[in-house]
Amino acid sequence: MVKRLSDAEVQSRMPSIAAWKRTGDLIEREFAFPDFVAAMRFVHRVAAEAERTQHHPDIHVLYNRVRLGYSTHDAGGLSERDFTAAIAVDRLLAG
């Protein structure tokens, strides 16, 4: 079973994903792209990473914007897996 992080643990990890925000038991970030095709390419890359790690985000596509949200349902909130996934997504965007 995956361990749910305490509020203090979540707060201490938030600086490592500065572009993300916390909304209750969810960390989320919105990304903007030049067009729909670029947004979908990004979603494809996120999906491949999610399958590789077996940790899947909520994905909302709004034409050229993509909003991702992570929470660990098995833990009933945020876990280390969510922060690891957010960092991996940030790296996908940078690379």
Q: Where are the domains of the chain?
A: 7-94
pLDDT at residue 21, as a whole number: 98
Banded pLDDT at 28 (limits 50, 70, 90): very high
- pLDDT per position as a tens digit, 30-72: 999 999 999 999 999 999 999 999 999 999 999 999 999 999 9
Residues in the chain: 95
Flag whether pLDDT at 12 surpasses 90: yes
Banded pLDDT at 83 (limits 50, 70, 90): very high
Average pLDDT of every residue of the chain: 96
Could you give the angle at which helices 36-53 and 80-94 cross, rounded to 10 degrees? 140
- pLDDT (mean) for 77-84: 97
Name the class of domain 7-94: alpha beta
pLDDT at residue 95, as a whole number: 78
